Protein backbone atom coordinates (compact mmCIF):
# COMPACT_ATOMS: atom_id res chain seq x y z
CA UNK A 1 0.00 0.00 0.00
CA UNK A 2 1.36 3.45 -0.88
CA UNK A 3 0.52 6.98 0.08
CA UNK A 4 -0.82 6.38 3.61
CA UNK A 5 -3.99 7.98 4.88
CA UNK A 6 -5.67 10.73 2.89
CA UNK A 7 -5.35 14.31 4.14
CA UNK A 8 -8.34 15.43 6.20
CA UNK A 9 -10.05 18.78 5.91
CA UNK A 10 -11.59 20.68 8.79
CA UNK A 11 -15.12 22.03 8.29
CA UNK A 12 -15.68 25.40 6.67
CA UNK A 13 -16.48 28.18 9.16
CA UNK A 14 -18.61 31.29 8.60
CA UNK A 15 -18.32 34.48 10.57
CA UNK A 16 -21.13 37.04 10.64
CA UNK A 17 -19.93 40.63 10.96
CA UNK A 18 -23.04 42.41 12.20
CA UNK A 19 -23.63 45.82 10.61
CA UNK A 20 -20.47 45.61 8.48
CA UNK A 21 -22.39 46.34 5.26
CA UNK A 22 -22.57 49.97 6.44
CA UNK A 23 -18.78 50.44 6.49
CA UNK A 24 -17.73 53.47 4.47
CA UNK A 25 -15.41 53.06 1.51
CA UNK A 26 -11.87 52.47 2.78
CA UNK A 27 -13.02 51.38 6.26
CA UNK A 28 -12.18 47.98 7.65
CA UNK A 29 -13.35 45.74 10.45
CA UNK A 30 -11.11 43.20 12.16
CA UNK A 31 -12.40 39.81 13.28
CA UNK A 32 -10.99 36.80 15.11
CA UNK A 33 -11.25 33.20 13.95
CA UNK A 34 -9.89 29.90 15.16
CA UNK A 35 -7.69 27.58 13.16
CA UNK A 36 -6.25 24.34 14.51
CA UNK A 37 -7.28 25.44 18.00
CA UNK A 38 -5.42 28.76 17.84
CA UNK A 39 -6.85 32.29 17.45
CA UNK A 40 -6.04 34.24 14.29
CA UNK A 41 -7.17 37.63 13.05
CA UNK A 42 -8.67 38.65 9.75
CA UNK A 43 -10.15 41.85 8.37
CA UNK A 44 -12.93 42.97 6.09
CA UNK A 45 -12.34 45.97 3.80
CA UNK A 46 -14.99 47.97 1.98
CA UNK A 47 -13.50 49.20 -1.26
CA UNK A 48 -14.94 50.87 -4.37
CA UNK A 49 -14.83 47.42 -6.03
CA UNK A 50 -16.72 45.70 -3.20
CA UNK A 51 -16.04 43.93 0.09
CA UNK A 52 -12.86 41.91 0.52
CA UNK A 53 -11.68 39.82 3.47
CA UNK A 54 -8.17 38.62 4.23
CA UNK A 55 -6.13 37.07 7.01
CA UNK A 56 -4.28 39.76 8.95
CA UNK A 57 -0.92 38.25 8.12
CA UNK A 58 1.86 39.48 5.85
CA UNK A 59 3.06 36.68 3.56
CA UNK A 60 6.65 37.89 4.01
CA UNK A 61 7.10 37.32 7.76
CA UNK A 62 3.68 36.14 8.95
CA UNK A 63 3.22 39.24 11.14
CA UNK A 64 0.04 41.30 11.57
CA UNK A 65 -0.31 43.81 8.74
CA UNK A 66 -1.74 46.51 11.01
CA UNK A 67 0.52 45.96 14.06
CA UNK A 68 -2.64 46.12 16.16
CA UNK A 69 -3.80 49.57 14.97
CA UNK A 70 -6.81 48.28 13.00
CA UNK A 71 -5.88 50.31 9.92
CA UNK A 72 -5.24 48.24 6.78
CA UNK A 73 -5.91 50.53 3.81
CA UNK A 74 -4.23 53.65 2.41
CA UNK A 75 -6.62 55.54 0.12
CA UNK A 76 -3.85 57.74 -1.32
CA UNK A 77 -2.18 54.76 -2.98
CA UNK A 78 -5.35 52.60 -3.12
CA UNK A 79 -3.59 49.69 -1.43
CA UNK A 80 -3.76 47.51 1.65
CA UNK A 81 -0.44 48.00 3.42
CA UNK A 82 1.83 46.27 5.89
CA UNK A 83 2.95 48.61 8.68
CA UNK A 84 5.94 46.37 9.41
CA UNK A 85 7.58 46.20 5.96
CA UNK A 86 5.72 48.80 3.89
CA UNK A 87 4.46 46.13 1.48
CA UNK A 88 1.47 47.16 -0.67
CA UNK A 89 -1.36 44.84 -1.74
CA UNK A 90 -4.15 45.19 -4.31
CA UNK A 91 -7.46 45.47 -2.45
CA UNK A 92 -9.38 43.18 -4.81
CA UNK A 93 -6.88 40.30 -5.14
CA UNK A 94 -4.50 40.64 -2.18
CA UNK A 95 -1.50 40.52 -4.52
CA UNK A 96 1.60 42.27 -3.22
CA UNK A 97 2.69 44.88 -5.77
CA UNK A 98 5.57 46.43 -3.81
CA UNK A 99 7.77 45.37 -0.93
CA UNK A 100 9.64 42.25 0.17
CA UNK A 101 6.74 39.93 -0.71
CA UNK A 102 6.11 41.25 -4.27
CA UNK A 103 4.15 38.69 -6.27
CA UNK A 104 2.82 36.89 -3.18
CA UNK A 105 -0.80 37.06 -2.01
CA UNK A 106 -2.68 37.67 1.21
CA UNK A 107 -4.88 34.75 2.26
CA UNK A 108 -8.31 35.67 0.91
CA UNK A 109 -11.72 34.67 2.28
CA UNK A 110 -15.09 34.57 0.53
CA UNK A 111 -17.48 37.40 1.36
CA UNK A 112 -21.26 37.61 1.10
CA UNK A 113 -23.42 40.60 2.00
CA UNK A 114 -26.65 39.67 3.76
CA UNK A 115 -28.81 42.72 4.53
CA UNK A 116 -26.72 44.87 6.94
CA UNK A 117 -24.31 42.06 7.80
CA UNK A 118 -21.34 40.60 5.96
CA UNK A 119 -20.61 36.88 6.10
CA UNK A 120 -16.99 35.78 5.80
CA UNK A 121 -16.38 32.16 4.84
CA UNK A 122 -13.16 30.63 6.07
CA UNK A 123 -11.95 27.66 4.05
CA UNK A 124 -11.37 24.33 5.71
CA UNK A 125 -7.82 23.62 6.80
CA UNK A 126 -6.22 20.62 5.17
CA UNK A 127 -4.30 18.63 7.74
CA UNK A 128 -1.52 16.44 6.42
CA UNK A 129 0.03 13.85 8.67
CA UNK A 130 3.63 12.67 8.43
CA UNK A 131 2.40 9.46 6.76
CA UNK A 132 1.33 11.57 3.76
CA UNK A 133 4.73 13.12 3.15
CA UNK A 134 5.97 10.19 1.11
CA UNK A 135 8.81 7.76 1.46
Q: What does the domain layout of the chain look like in residue ranges?
A: 21-123
HSE-CB of 90 using CA atoms within 13 angstroms: 11
CATH homologous superfamily of 21-123 equals Rieske [2Fe-2S] iron-sulphur domain (2.102.10.10)
pLDDT of the residue at 36: 82
As a whole number of angstroms, the distance between CA 45 and CA 91 comes to: 8
Query: pLDDT (tens digit, 9 = 90+) per residue, 53-108?
Result: 999 999 988 899 999 999 999 999 999 999 998 999 999 999 999 999 999 999 99
Nearest to 26 by CA among 81, 68, 63: 81
| pLDDT in the model for residue 28 | 97
> What are the tens digits of pLDDT across the range 7-60?
445 558 899 999 999 999 999 999 999 988 899 999 999 999 999 999 999 998
DSSP 3-state percent helix, strand, coil across the chain (nearest 5): 5, 45, 55
Are 91 and 85 in contact by the 8 Å Cβ rule? The answer is no
Amino acid sequence: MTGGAAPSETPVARIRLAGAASLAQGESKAFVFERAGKPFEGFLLRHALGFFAYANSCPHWNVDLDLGFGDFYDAEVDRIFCRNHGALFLPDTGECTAGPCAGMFLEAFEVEVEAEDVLVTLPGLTLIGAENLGD
